Chain A
């Protein structure tokens, strides 16, 4: 993986899973994202650290196709990301700190609904399977509004991975999770990595994201101040992070 512009690649097997080039986006006078570029291959996990307001969420929303960039491009397996493309949407999954689930529906109903939207075969079975995968099988008929934060996060994970996306985007997923739930999430992410999915994990918490990452980026003021394969431990990165965010 490199931070510099990628040379031309074959759009077939040679292309990286996710290729981002010169992405920029402003909101009014605020330049939330400034020429961010990177590539990500299969089985690679990019952890993006940065203080609040660094533009991390904006980056994820553009990758998810929810936001349009002012400049730059995003490519999935060499093909440019087109916001209306249903096939591309099936390959993307987003885990946000909001659950994206309906309070008034049960866990199973939420997953079945999304299963039908994604046109999965036998949505009901798939939903039960997904719930079992996040240890929520016994809560299948619980209404979402009555679930704890940890349970809700597990449901959100089940929802996001229901259609088995190739590229998983996570926005501050550890927020509000206790030890137990956080460990569960880490386990899920490790499983994704070994299943050769590509993951972009955005967080302001160095400890949580570092051990899973294969690549690390530090985003400050909309830019990638650092972007390279992971080398070294938490201490080194903490120092680097402090140094880069000192001026901001």
Chain B
């Protein structure tokens, strides 16, 4: 099953790499959002590090949301989804493949956004890079897991671009809240004990979401 998932993910990534449209658009969008946030605050009143975690995660959210519909939207062209469903492919492998492709996509956008963020808001990332990357990874997994599943539903509706955020944003409250809290504490160099509550929440959320998505995904397919 993992082999098939990887096959599908590789195919998606190859397609994306060839056209690069979605990826480049996401990058530009991310940079723009970060830049606009500069005007949304008064740097003389609040230091960059106070608002920074929120800005970072809202930016990731927006950029991620735009990229998620890609995965299933591309299977509507030429009805290739039928091709996948006709093949002896496990439904869970299909979900996993799409989720992995989304993870790589969102992860790459984040990888570019993070240094940009550090530069724009003058936030020193090097001392906290390890823990920060861990938090980003944890939150992104949850984000992508639920987003991939919901986009499988959303692409079947008329206004898919609007439907996905409407459905998904409530599901982002736990991971984003956790990510922002953890990021803020990490920037402030708080001890690990203070982070454990939120860390456990994130991990539990990720586990529940991934398991639920694997179980429920087949019901989002035509029948």
Given a CB threshold of 8 Å, the question of whether A touches B is answered with yes
Enumerate chain A interface residues (CB-CB to B < 8 A). Answer: 64-68, 84, 86-87, 89-90, 92-94, 96, 98-105, 109, 113-114, 116-119, 159
Residues of B within 8 A of A87 (CB): 88
Docked-complex contact B79 and A100, CB < 8 angstroms: yes
Most B CB within 10 A of own CB, among A87, A113, A117: A117
Report the bound CA distance from A94 to B11 in whole Å.
21
Check B47 for interface membership: any CB of A closer than 8 A.
Answer: no
Given contact pairs A67-B223, A105-B15, A117 touches B89 in the complex (Cβ within 8 A):
yes
Check B83 for interface membership: any CB of A closer than 8 A.
Answer: yes
Docked-complex contact A64 and B86, CB < 8 angstroms: yes
Check B82 for interface membership: any CB of A closer than 8 A.
Answer: yes
Q: Measured between C-beta atoms, what is the minimum distance from A101 to chain B in Å?
A: 6
Docked-complex contact A90 and B82, CB < 8 angstroms: no
Number of interface residues of B (CB under 8 A): 23
Q: Measured between C-beta atoms, what is the minimum distance from A114 to chain B in Å?
A: 7
Q: Measured between C-beta atoms, what is the minimum distance from B201 to chain A in Å?
A: 35
A102: contacting residue among B78, B85, B87, B88, CB under 8 A: B78
Docked-complex contact B86 and A89, CB < 8 angstroms: yes
Query: What are 7 A-B interface contacts by the 8 Å CB criterion?
Result: A89-B87, A100-B78, A101-B83, A102-B15, A105-B15, A114-B87, A117-B7
Check B222 for interface membership: any CB of A closer than 8 A.
Answer: yes
Report the bound CA distance from A114 to B79 in whole Å.
14
A90: contacting residue among B14, B15, B78, B88, CB under 8 A: B88
Report the bound CA distance from A214 to B25 in whole Å.
54
